[in-house]
């Protein structure tokens, strides 16, 4: 008797569970039907369209900004290349002038040495008078 009560109780519980789930689904569908009317759909559609339009304008403005940045980057690249060439030319000129100055320095040192000959072995006389 005990086993019959348990099995009968289990059947009745599972039947109510199925019925309650079915009722819940039906009530949810009715709520969705009442919430989603034609007016709501149109308002959602217009909101969606305006959102899409805002996104499209944002994308277009982003594209134009990217183009501007690319143009600025190209201009900077050209400017840097010009300045680099100018610095390279100045460096070449400075190197040439440095080489010329080193050559002049060597010639001056050579000339200076030529006229500063030291003569060893000559006795120097003192011009002092020795008093006794």
* 98-112 pLDDT per residue, tens: 999 999 999 988 887
The pLDDT assigned to 28 comes to 84
So what's the pLDDT on residue 126? Answer: 59
Dihedral angle over CA of 39, 40, 44, 45, nearest 10: -30
Q: Which residues of the chain have pLDDT under 50?
A: 1-13
């Amino acid at each position: 008797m005990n086993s019959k009560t348990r099995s009968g109780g289990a059947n009745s519980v599972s039947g109510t569970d199925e019925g309650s789930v079915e009722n819940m689904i039906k009530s949810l569908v009715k709520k969705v039907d009442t919430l989603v009317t034609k007016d709501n759909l149109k308002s959602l559609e217009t909101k969606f369209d305006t959102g899409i339009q805002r996104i499209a304008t944002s994308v277009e403005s982003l594209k134009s900004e990217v183009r501007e940045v690319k143009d600025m980057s190209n201009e900077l690249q050209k400017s840097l290349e010009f300045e680099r060439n100018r610095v390279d030319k100045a460096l070449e000129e400075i190197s040439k002038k440095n080489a010329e100055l080193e050559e002049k320095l060597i010639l001056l040192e050579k000339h200076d040495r030529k006229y500063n000959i030291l003569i060893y072995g000559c006795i120097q006389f003192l011009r002092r008078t020795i008093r006794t």
